[in-house]
Amino acid sequence: MSDLSRRTVAVLTTTGFEDAEISRVKHAVEEAGGRVLIVAPEDSPVIGKRGTSYDPDMLSGEADAASFSALLLPGGVSNADRLRTDAAAVDLVRGMVAAGKPVAAICHGAWILTDADAVQGRTLTSSPSLKTDLVNAGADWVDEAVHVDAGEGAGKPLLITSRTKADLEPFIEAVITHVGA
């Protein structure tokens, strides 16, 4: 297992996230020695579709890409849709991409990548319902449990994407491996 000590992973989320897509990844990152911070648009608990609740450690308007080693974008349709309308959340994603830092998105979490102009010429996967949006934004979409796109050229972020919570095991493995690299 990779060592994630000295690594801080931001989880950008709001209410409506897919519970396991945060809890299981968060647990794995912490088990590998990493730190996980919940970043949300508002200073109130974020609640998952199945009742898991987290208090935000930081607001999206206060978050700076320089503070994080990687970014996790969990799914949940309402979660992903709400985040796309939060300018600070989109700015955080853009900042992570501009800094060339790893971004891991699962299920509908990849949706905000279109708003952050982060998919042009990249290959990724997602919930199949996002395929058209991602392709229209310039991505090559693949139907794989997990896809890692290292990009080409300096400053391109590592994009780690997965389809659904059914693919959590290979997604978590890819996150731990590549964030710890």
The 10s digit of each residue's pLDDT in 67-123 is 999 999 999 999 999 999 999 999 999 999 999 999 999 999 999 999 999 999 999
Q: Is 27 a catalytic residue?
A: no
Residue 59: domain span: 8-179
pLDDT, mean of residues 36-47: 98
**Domain contains 2:** no
167-176 confidence digits (pLDDT tens): 999 999 999 9
| DSSP structure string for the chain | ----TT-EEEEE--TT--HHHHHHHHHHHHHTT-EEEEEESSSS-EE-TTS-EE--SEETTT--GGG-SEEEE---HHHHHHHHT-HHHHHHHHHHHHTT--EEEEGGGGHHHHHTT--TT-EE---GGGHHHHHHTTPEE---SEEEE--SSTTPPPEEEESSGGGHHHHHHHHHHHH--
**Domain contains 1:** no
pLDDT at 55 over 90: yes
Please report which confidence band the pLDDT of residue 153 belongs to, taking 50, 70 and 90 as the band edges: low
**Domain contains 3:** no
Annotated active-site residue in 27, 108, 147, 178: 108
From 44-48, 90-94, 147-151, the region with the lowest mean pLDDT: 147-151
The predicted structure's pLDDT at residue 2? 81
**Domain contains 142:** yes
**Domain contains 13:** yes
Q: Is 107 a catalytic residue?
A: yes
CATH number at residue 121: 3.40.50.880
Q: How many domains does the chain have?
A: 1
From 50-59, 96-105, 112-121, 155-164, the region with the lowest mean pLDDT: 155-164
The predicted structure's pLDDT at residue 154? 60
Please report which confidence band the pLDDT of residue 27 belongs to, taking 50, 70 and 90 as the band edges: very high
**Domain contains 22:** yes
**Domain contains 137:** yes
Annotated active-site residue in 27, 107, 147, 178: 107
